[in-house]
Chain A
């Protein structure tokens, strides 16, 4: 595994609110901002943190399904709308289902490593409340194999895929233990989100979170092994940040104390046309994380803070194993012991994660990177965790579909 051939920095992170049900100001029948609004807010939020936007060389935008949610393609064309200085500059849209944001990060890093740009504005966006969730399920189902599995699939296609994973874990590792851990994952997610004003669950006022999370599943209207609290919600939002080379950082006038360094990244792809080899394991995620560790010469022992892709509570548990924090089959125990809580061993998803913060699918990977950047540079406000100086690295996993497209990235505070 080759180390990165030069240092790539990441700066100027910005998240919009994750908008959707649960936010007080959300009303399903009231008009809502569209794609343009979110792209602009996030883009401006990032470029507002550098001296001169003209010094940004190009743009990358991650998005999953705007063509269906918003009937909009050709997203690179939104960059000049953010700021006129992007007019005629290169811009690219990348897609890899819910890992689209992760791919936007990776594509930006590669562009800088290829010496084709010194600075790249990287955005991820999704606006999904345009359709009811039963139709949104169709659209998100596009992350699976349409010809091979959609017809046989469930009305709520992806929830049921992860419900099956939960069912497999119940059987293999013990139902009570895994179920309790899933519920504790939910409790942790909401408690973290309540500290983050931009989180979709910021206003969550459920008194007994654990009891809610233990609601028995209702397979007649939803899934067999999971309930709605196990799922991330339908969200609108965008995130943005800027990647820069050493020269790029100087050009943008940003100090290293406000920057992180990309220590490494790993990318991995599963076969969309075949089912996961083992439902109790996120093997593609594990592969991506291991690549990132190898490339950096690090291991899970070096990670002090993490952002994992908990599109469902069960994916949270399985990600903890894929990241190597817990051994195979021991993710549930790890979570039950509170080792992912903000003040414990490996604070994970300290701003709420997908379950608590929200999940604007194609933007989530960028959102995770923004939150890691804020944690590592001490800007996470009420969500700030203490980072063990012996483990100064942050890991993120951006996962698309049923563990098919995965990008992992390791950051540390720039020196």
Chain B
């Protein structure tokens, strides 16, 4: 079965979730393009989720996203629909494509719909037992040549494959959020993986125009392997800072240092909130269990989750409160776990902490500005040269952070999670939008 044949019948599990909905858009677009080429063939994309209510919202999301896809590929679509005399203007062509994509969608809650699928994308909740249960059911239901691609963030693939008895038909296909925008897919190939499945996943990546980075089947893989430890480092620094600056003060300081001094797209605590404090905890737990590494734990995170401070996003994409409280997606307060309330980031409080952090080194440019700057390489080098020499608390914390981040990245290579330093850098720059990889000459 080639890629095109496999794409005749596909299912997405957890289709209404953050990852599932994006995967659905990507696959629906490709299937609709195939449908134009082969109008007589039957195409089906089953969108399966236990939560019936959110499936309605899913269709609205898919419509908006497929429209965007069509708007960006109108040059191609005009040639694809060249024989359709009734479609003349771009608007008509775009609408036709959206309609064609929609006609192959089958949303529902019944797992049985996946019966005839040749490819199943699994993007349900990050829970080993639930994932195993659902995959087992599907294994009984689907034909024995169906491929399974899981989006798990941390569960080892070979372990799952064995537990479900998929005999090599499971591969880790780790999209980044949001899958429609993020170019990166981490591909986790367990040693047991079926050869045809490996080829299929490579070809699919090309078709989806994704950047595939291979990772070995070690819990956390590259992305979370780095992110979890990077986050734990910041939490460790907060523990040291809290004596002098209080816990909220420490959180504020590390968030600012990671965002501004390290020129990252967002501060580390904002990122943990974005991912979800509970999700962060869940991934830590999975990694600790599978790696047997007791250091992959944070008391602060556990206490926050206990207090139901979860972070994450609302369905409309707005940020829920976590370490920080948000208004219009900007942090306005910091959580004080002792008092169980948020401390507003007021002018005085902020100024006081900022003066302790000290000025940004000479040559600083915000992340957003450098992102599109063709000379960003040179500008970063000279900025980090100054950071090396700067004698402020902020610069000192930043230097330690850079060194730790580099150490984490190197360990991912030496422990065999990543095949090369370049792969680690590729994941951080693509998947996390860093301007530079953790393995660099800046420290």
Contacts and interface: CB of A to CB of B under 8 A. Distances in A.
Given A132-B71, A151-B85, A138 B76 contact: no
Contact of B91 (A138, A146, A151, A219): A138
B130 interface: no
Contacts of B72: 221
Contacts of B90: 134-135, 137-138, 155
A150 B90 CA distance: 10
Contacts of A132: 71
B283 interface: no
17 contacts: A134-B71, A134-B74, A134-B90, A134-B94, A138-B89, A138-B90, A138-B91, A151-B88, A154-B78, A155-B74, A155-B78, A155-B90, A219-B75, A220-B75, A221-B72, A221-B73, A222-B75
A135 B76 contact: no
Interface of B: 71-78, 85, 88-91, 94
Given A146-B88, A154-B75, A155-B75, 11 more contacts: A134-B71, A134-B74, A135-B90, A138-B90, A138-B91, A151-B88, A155-B77, A156-B75, A220-B75, A221-B72, A221-B75
Nearest to B87: A151
Contact of A135 (B75, B77, B85, B91): B91
A20 interface: no
Contacts of A219: 75
**A interface SS class:** loop
B364 to A, nearest CB: 19
Interface string A203-237: 00000000000000001111000000000000000
Interface in A122-155: 132, 134-135, 137-138, 141, 146, 150-151, 154-155
B76 A220 contact: yes
Most buried by B among A137, A146, A151, A221: A151
Contacts of A138: 89-91
Contacts of B88: 146, 150-151
A223 to B, nearest CB: 9
Contacts of A156: 75
Contact of A141 (B74, B75, B85, B89): B89
Contacts of A155: 74-75, 77-78, 90
Nearest to B89: A138
Q: Would you call the interface of chain B mostly helix, strand, loop, or mixed?
A: helix
A134 B70 CA distance: 10
Contacts of B74: 134, 155
A156 B72 CA distance: 12
Contacts of B85: 151
Nearest to A147: B88
Contacts of B94: 134
Contacts of A135: 90-91
Nearest to A135: B91
Contacts of A141: 89
Nearest to B373: A207
A41 B90 CA distance: 33
A141 B78 CA distance: 15
A150 B89 CA distance: 7
B295 to A, nearest CB: 45
Nearest to A139: B89
A118 to B, nearest CB: 44
Nearest to B70: A134
Contacts of B89: 138, 141, 150
Contacts of A134: 71, 74, 90, 94
Interface string A154-197: 11100000000000000000000000000000000000000000
Contacts of B71: 132, 134
A141 B88 CA distance: 11
A208 to B, nearest CB: 8
A156 B73 CA distance: 11
A150 B88 CA distance: 7
B183 to A, nearest CB: 16
Interface in A230-249: none
A156 B76 CA distance: 12
- With a 10 A CB-CB cut-off, give which of A151, A155, A222 has the most chain B CB atoms: A155
Nearest to A153: B78
A221 B73 CA distance: 7
B320 to A, nearest CB: 23
A336 to B, nearest CB: 25
Nearest to B71: A134
A150 B86 CA distance: 12
Contacts of B73: 221
B74 to A, nearest CB: 4
Select the residue from A134, A137, A150, A222 with max chain B CB neighbours within 10 A. A134
Contacts of B78: 154-155
